[in-house]
Amino acid sequence: MSWLDLPADSGFGLDNLPYGVFSTRGTARRTGVAVGDRVLDLVAVTGDSVHATGSLNAFLARGPRAWAELRGQLTDWLTDAAHRGAVEPHLVPRDDVTMHLPVAVADYVDFYSSQHHAENLGRMFRPDSAALTPNWKHMPIGYHGRAGTVQISGTPVVRPAGQRKASADDSPTFGPSQRLDIEAEVGFVVGMPSELGQPVPLAAFGEHVFGICLVNDWSARDLQSWEYVPLGPFLGKSFLTSVSPWVVPLPALEAARVRPPARDVRLLPYLDDADAEPWGLDVRIEVRLNGELVSCPPVDLMYWTPAQQLAHMTVNGASLRTGDLFASGTVSGPARDQRGSFIELSWGGTEPLPLADGTTRTFLQDGDVVTLTATAPGTGGGRISFGEVTGRVEPASPP
C-alpha cells in the first residue's frame, strides 16, 4: 500500500519501479523511477550524484547489492506515509518529462531464440533447406549488432537505402528499402561486468543482468537477404534499433518467471537449465500498427532463456561490460496473430495483413507508426507494464 494514489491497473505500481533517464524543461538528464503516472527524481530524492550522470551505467556498475538496497529504500519511501513530505515534491508528472536512452550501450547482441520465428524465417529465406539450421537446438544463435544506433523510443525511423537484388535480376540495384519491417523483442541490460576469460554460468544471471526493456530491431528485409551470406545481417539492421525508456529490474519479474518449453535435444552442461532456476518470462508483447493491435507475441514460448543467452555469449571467455545490451530476437508464437514481424505476419509479403480500415499491409509504409507495449504478472497480483517503444517511418533521405 502506498500513500500515493495509484490505480490498481496503472502497470507502474510499487511492484514495478522501473528506471529511466529523463529531463524536464530546465533540468539536465537524470535518473528517475516511474511510479503511476509520475517520475520520481532520484537526484533530488537521494542526493546521490550517480543519478545525475545522464545514463544508468554508473549506478548499474555498483552491482546487485546496491540495486537491491535502492529498491528497498524506494519501496519504503513510497509506502510509509512518514516519508511523504520528503518524497512527494520530487514526483514529476510523466507527461512533463522527456525520456532519453537509459543506458550508454556498450556491446549490443541480438539473439534468435524463438523457434517459431526461426522456422518461419528459415522457410522464407532458405526454402530449399530445413527450416532450422542444424545448430539451432544446440545453442542460442546470436550476432553482434551496432551499439551506436541503439536509440530511444520515438526516434524517427528514416527508411534506409541500400543494395537489394531480386532473384530474377542479374545484379543488385540501389534504393530505399521496399521491405522495411519490425522485430518485436525484449532486451536485457547488463549491469555488472565480467572478467575476460571468465564465463558467466547460468546461475550467475541475476548477478550481472540488471533489468529488461522492450526492443524494436527495425529490419530492411531486402537489404538483409542480399547481404547476409556468409557473415550475417549488417546494413539490413544497423540503421536503427529502438528501445523503451524504462528498464524493469529483475526483481519486478519474480512472478513472471516460468519454465521454458521442453527441450528436444540434450543440452551441453553449460546450457542445461533443467535443474536451474527458470528464466523463461511470462511477458506478453502487443504490437500496434497505427494504433491497431496486429499481434501479441508471447515471450514465455521462447526456446532459449536470457540466462542461457548470457551463458552462451560468455562461454568462450568473452567479457561483459556495464551497459551491454542483449536482445531475445523476434518473439513469435505459433499463431499468426502472435508473430513479431511483418515478414511473418504477411508471409514474406504474399499474404497481406488485413487492417481495420479495409486496407492491407505487407511491409511498412512511410508514415506508419509501430508501437510495442508489454506487460507481465507483477508480484502485487496485477500486471506490471514495460511502457512502450514506438517509431514512425519517415521517407528515405534524398540521395
Q: Which of 161, 189, 256, 281 binds its own copies (CB under 8 A)?
A: 161
How many residues at the interface with its own copies, by CB under 8 A?
Answer: 68
Hunting for cell 546470436 — which residue is that? 142
Q: Is residue 299 within 8 Å of residue 331, measured between CB atoms? A: yes
Report residue 4 as a C-alpha cell: 500515493
- State yes or no: is 100 an active-site residue: no
Q: Which of 48, 130, 144, 254 binds its own copies (CB under 8 A)?
A: 144
Tell me: does residue 174 bind its own copies (CB under 8 A).
yes
Instruction: Please provide residue 119's backbone torsions phi and psi, each rounded to the nearest 5 degrees.
Output: -70, -40
Nearer to its own copies, 51 or 159 (CB): 159
Site for its own copies in 301-330 (CB under 8 A): 312-313, 315-321, 324
Q: Report the C-alpha gap between 330 and 181 in whole angstroms.
A: 11
Exactly one of 116, 117, 208, 312 is catalytic; which is it? Answer: 117
Nearer to its own copies, 138 or 259 (CB): 138
Report residue 146 as a C-alpha cell: 551496432
Tell me: does residue 340 bind its own copies (CB under 8 A).
no
Eight-state DSSP code of residue 388: E
The sheet that has 369-377: what strands, in order across it?
157-158, 383-394, 369-377, 284-289, 292-295
Site for its own copies in 189-228 (CB under 8 A): 196-199, 220, 223, 226-228
Minimum Å gap between C-beta 72 and its own copies is 31
Q: Which of 63, 172, 251, 352 binds its own copies (CB under 8 A)?
A: 172
Q: Is residue 132 within 8 Å of residue 114, measured between CB atoms? A: no
Q: Give pairs for 123-128: CB < 8 Å, separation 24+.
A: 124/343, 124/347, 124/348, 125/225
Q: Is residue 7 within 8 Å of residue 379, measured between CB atoms? A: no
The DSSP code sequence of 82-129 is GGHHHHGGGEEEGGG-EEE-SS--S-EEEE---HHHHHHHHHHH-TTS
Minimum Å gap between C-beta 107 and its own copies is 5
Tell me: does residue 263 bind its own copies (CB under 8 A).
no
Tell me: does residue 276 bind its own copies (CB under 8 A).
no
Q: Is residue 284 within 8 Å of residue 386, measured between CB atoms? A: no
Tell me: does residue 169 bind its own copies (CB under 8 A).
no
Tell me: does residue 106 bind its own copies (CB under 8 A).
yes
The DSSP code sequence of 12-41 is -STTT--EEEEEETTEEEEEEEEETTEEEE
Nearer to its own copies, 85 or 398 (CB): 398
Decide the pairing of beta strands 108-111 and 325-327.
parallel
Q: Which of 31, 55, 113, 238 binds its own copies (CB under 8 A)?
A: 238
Tell me: does residue 397 bind its own copies (CB under 8 A).
yes
Q: Which of 12, 112, 246, 363 binds its own copies (CB under 8 A)?
A: 112
Minimum Å gap between C-beta 187 and its own copies is 16
Minimum Å gap between C-beta 307 and its own copies is 17
H/E stretch holding 20: strand 19-24
Given the rule CB under 8 A, which residues bind its own copies?
Answer: 106-107, 112, 122, 125-126, 133-135, 138-139, 141-149, 151, 155, 158, 160-163, 165, 171-174, 196-199, 220, 223, 226-236, 238-240, 265-266, 268-270, 312-313, 315-321, 324, 397
Which are the catalytic amino acids?
Answer: 117
